[in-house]
Structure 1
Amino acid sequence: MSGSLWLRPGAATGDTLPAVPRQRTGPRTPDGGGAVLAADPLDELADRLDTLAATAVHPDEIAAILESDGMTDDHIRRTYGRQDSFALAEDLYARTERRHPAPAPPAAGPWHTGLPGCLLRGLLFALPGLGYVLGAPLLATGPGRYGLPPGTVPLFAGAVTGWVWNQALAHRAYTWLGLGDRRAAVWALSAGAPAGAVAGAAVATAAAGPGELPAVLFGAGQALYLGAATVLLVLGRERALLAALTPLAGAVPAFRLDLPDALRIALLLLSLTATTVTAAAALRPGGSARGRGGPPLARSVPYGLFGLGSGLLVLYAGADAIIALTLSMGPAEWLLHRFRAAGTARLRLLTTARDFRRAVTGTLARCLGGYLAVLLALTVTAALLWPGAAAVTAPRVASLLLIGAVLWLGLLLQSFGAVASAAAVCLLAAAAQALAPAAGPLAAGAAAAVLCVLTRVLLARPTAHRA
């Protein structure tokens, strides 16, 4: 029902009835005046109210318009021969065909986003990998542990800590932004990002062994970067982050040339300093929001656990595969938005639950297939360009695509609020992969199958797509 049409009887709007589109000739009034009456005054009134009456869903809407225009019951009895405004409205409603216009789709809904912005975010996720290219020779100062290169254990421990912490922090800040309180979001980031940096550095230090001091220092810088990057990404400062990461482009020659250690350290410190300063500047206007309640902290825990599970799955993929996966996060984000926008559009167009389920299932298959196709192309490209990359074999590609499917479906469930299920599946798959590395593809395949079923069951319901 249109709010502009539904008025209480007797309410004054200041509007008058639409102008008469045409005059009809008829007999003059008995007093000999010059006014010309229609053969049936009700025809003239019906013409005047045609648009309003056609869109009315109840005669009372027309009655309210008549009364708001000043038509009294006495005038209605003398002019139209009806008892009152309600009787006249019923006649007008009965003689006018219903013509309800279809609702126009929103010009820019919350799930409409541009591909360039998502590709930029994917690039930002992958660029820090160049920092590891610059820092790798600096870490090779002693023997590695568990068959891994030197410094790997403290770096991985610090990175996983950062992923868990910053995933939960980003959720809390995004929740504040969704509530329209940017100041509280900035305050949450101001308190959470430094704490996360300290936690990541502490874990990297605790996980370090003899001779791994360079890895500890690198891990501390890594923790500081993760906190600063989270601030800039949550606050929509992607271009500022890209500018801060520009010095890492100096790692490109390091693929083929042996750069001096001093140059490597300078490039790393320059990028880290630029990122940190830019993040601090983005937080400065926020002020303080102390004393506010806000969403319970427990709601952010599943997001951190999903970051832990997905991070552990990715760590086993290899350097070139990690680059492909991080670059694919841009197209993945865009396809997530496309799926959500398509679901919202189907709510307006389809009339049965069965049609909706079929449409959503088809959209899900297309979006997941599109993401896996992008990931496959990036995997082949990264394997060709990355020094020392493992050979592209069918089992390795299949395993990587299964991990990609787990990540995309998990992110999709997370965007619908079903993050606890996605986190549980990812953690179980990561645990199975850690306990039996040879069974990694089987664990990823089982996780992908479970997430497919969960997604189909949860997201085929129309109620899941109503914001």
Structure 2
Amino acid sequence: MTLTAGPRAPIMAAARSYAADATIAITSGMVVTAETGTRPRSGDPLDDLVDRVRETAKEAVDALQVAALLEADGVTDRAARAVFGYTDVFDLADAVFRRAGGGVRRLRPVGPPVRDLARAAREIFHGPLYLLPGALFPAVAAIIAPRPLLFALVVAGALGWVWAAGATWLAYQCLNVDDQRTAGRVLAWSTLLGLVVAGLAGVGVTMVVGGGLIAAALVPGVMAYQMASTILVFYRLEVWLAVLVAPAAAVGVAYVLEEVTLGWALIAVAACVTAALLFGVWRSWRAGVGRTISVVGGFRGLFRGRVGALAWILLYNALAAAFLLHAQAPYLLSQVDVVVVGLGLIVTMGVVEWRARRFTEEARRLLTRVRYPRDFHRRVWLLLAGNVVACWLTTALFSAALVALLWTNDRLSTAVLAMAGAQVLMAGAYLTAFVLANHLRYGWLCGGLAVAVAASLGAPYVLGTSPDVPSTVFYLGSAVLLQILLLVGLTPVLGQVSRYR
């Protein structure tokens, strides 16, 4: 599973580039009032500006008078771009004029976002796509010793997760400026380089824990599927991914039912993953054919000014992978029931991605339906709460079905129940993490994940609990802690209207 952030609105991307320019030394803390010299109070400079000029602006005939007022107050085009996120003073003045109530009785009505059912279906379908490789596990487990298998899966899962996230983020940076050619090249070269890195990691696994050639090949094999699925999802070709990989999953299930031999199962797995990989690389290489000039300046220009942000992306995904894998890895070979009940989150991850996108769209629409910042602040929190609860309920539905199945087979345990509860909470935490990432709060996001991982691993030693208490209980507690920390991280930014323009 990878967390990606789509292209941001063009005006916000432009404003952010101006704000990052070293020649513009303007910050929100430098915006002061003419009479008192006080600094902004709310944390959102536009809110303070509207409050300061409201009495005068609402008496203005049009936005041009407000622009004159702002210029007289010392607001320049540079400040409008770097501080408030608008192209110039006149664009800023238009927003201030409408927000202050000048010359209008109510805000311009804005219709609801267009309901793209096909896009929603694709996003929801991501969950079952994430689940498909699970059907291949029994055939692979039959030819590798347990200890090398566990190490190979953990290394391959973490490496593939982080690598795919970094490649996707870089590709989206190209799409932000409509450079499809470079985006495709980034995905293609990242895939090839990722296979080399995964091959070296596989050799390292065999040198540490053994397992031979098969264990070494498993790591690049997992990377191949991860990058193939990343590319095809990036280009919205989820149906092709399902068509290419579903036969291998079906053969994997048939092997468990003893309908096919191990040899045929392994051949089907290798053939389907290879086909998906080749198709994905071909599709990415063909992107933007005919365009010879790179808007971002090629690979050298792509990394210019983005190394720091890319480092945050990689660290965030590494911590996210560590948080998920550290709880499931101990049970992967010894108590599969605990891993099975965790599938409820994987199946519903598409729903989480869908609700995260819908939250952003509804929040921007909400901005046009309220007059005062305090109203937006209250209603956007209610909107977030509704989406978090929706994710909780969706995952709880699938987790309850899995728990009931285990109960009927007399396989229910404390560890299973704790893992099921943790997966439900993690659905809301993932949605909150998506929102935090959209607000570029990667520092808080990484800190929250690090604290949650440390709490889950360190709590048994600090509390000195009985060995009979399963580790999933502490994982459940760390999931609660993570949800709280992420919500706290949203507190200073979620209600700032300037972040949604």
TM-score between both structures, scaled by the size of structure 1 = 0.71
The answer to whether the aligner puts 1:152 opposite 2:150 as a matched pair is yes
The answer to whether the aligner puts 1:415 opposite 2:476 as a matched pair is no
- Give the secondary-structure state (helix, strand or coil) at the position aligned to 2:258: coil
Q: Distance in 2 between matches of 1:415 and 1:234?
A: 18
Which residues in structure 2 correspond to 1:13-412 (within 5 Å)? 57=62, 103=108, 105=110, 114-139=119-144, 142=145, 144=147, 150-208=148-206, 209-247=209-247, 248-257=249-258, 259-286=260-287, 289=294, 290=298, 293-294=301-302, 296-315=306-325, 316-317=327-328, 318-383=338-403, 391=413, 394-412=417-435
Deviations 1:392-446 (A, max 9, x none): 7543333332333332211221133223321221133224434556433332222
Q: Distance in 1 between matches of 2:63 and 2:166?
A: 50
Deviations 1:305-362 (A, max 9, x none): 2221221222214422442222111100111012111110111000111111110111
Contact 1:314–1:403 at 8 Å: present in 2 too?
no
Contact 1:113–1:337 at 8 Å: present in 2 too?
no
Contact 1:159–1:222 at 8 Å: present in 2 too?
yes
Deviations 1:248-278 (A, max 9, x none): 2222334443741112101211211111121
CA-based RMSD: 3.1
Deviation at 1:374, TM superposition (A): 0.8
Aligned to 1:79: none
Q: Distance in 2 between matches of 1:352 and 1:102?
A: 11
The total of aligned residue pairs comes to 367
Higher RCO, 1 or 2 (CA under 8 Å, sep at least 6)? 2
**Unaligned segments of structure 2, at least 5 residues:** 1-60, 66-102, 329-337, 461-470
Aligned to 1:446: 481
AA in 2 matched with 1:156: V
Change (3 A) 1:167 1:128: same
- Give the secondary-structure state (helix, strand or coil) at the position aligned to 2:440: coil
Deviation at 1:157, TM superposition (A): 1.0
Q: Distance in 2 between matches of 1:118 and 1:390?
A: 32
AA in 2 matched with 1:234: F
Contact 1:197–1:224 at 8 Å: present in 2 too?
yes
Change (3 A) 1:257 1:433: farther
AA in 1 matched with 2:309: R
Change (3 A) 1:338 1:173: same
AA in 1 matched with 2:173: T
Change (3 A) 1:58 1:166: closer
Larger radius of gyration: 1
Q: Distance in 2 between matches of 1:176 and 1:196?
A: 20
AA in 1 matched with 2:425: L
Deviation at 1:371, TM superposition (A): 0.1
Aligned to 2:45: none
Deviation at 1:101, TM superposition (A): 9.0
Deviation at 1:391, TM superposition (A): 4.3
**Unaligned segments of structure 1, at least 5 residues:** 1-55, 61-97, 145-149
Report the more deviating stretch, 371-380 or 396-405: 396-405
AA in 1 matched with 2:264: L
Deviations 1:80-137 (A, max 9, x none): xxxxxxxxxxxxxxxxxx8889635367579998431211222222212222233222
Aligned to 1:89: none
Q: Distance in 1 between matches of 2:424 and 2:167?
A: 28
Q: Distance in 1 between matches of 2:410 and 2:453?
A: 25
Deviation at 1:291, TM superposition (A): 6.1
Change (3 A) 1:389 1:452: farther
TM-score between both structures, scaled by the size of structure 2 = 0.66
The answer to whether the aligner puts 1:462 opposite 2:497 as a matched pair is yes
Identity %: 19
Q: Distance in 2 between matches of 1:271 and 1:118?
A: 22
Q: Distance in 2 between matches of 1:58 and 1:436?
A: 59
Contact 1:154–1:205 at 8 Å: present in 2 too?
no
Report the more deviating stretch, 197-206 or 263-272: 197-206
AA in 1 matched with 2:323: L
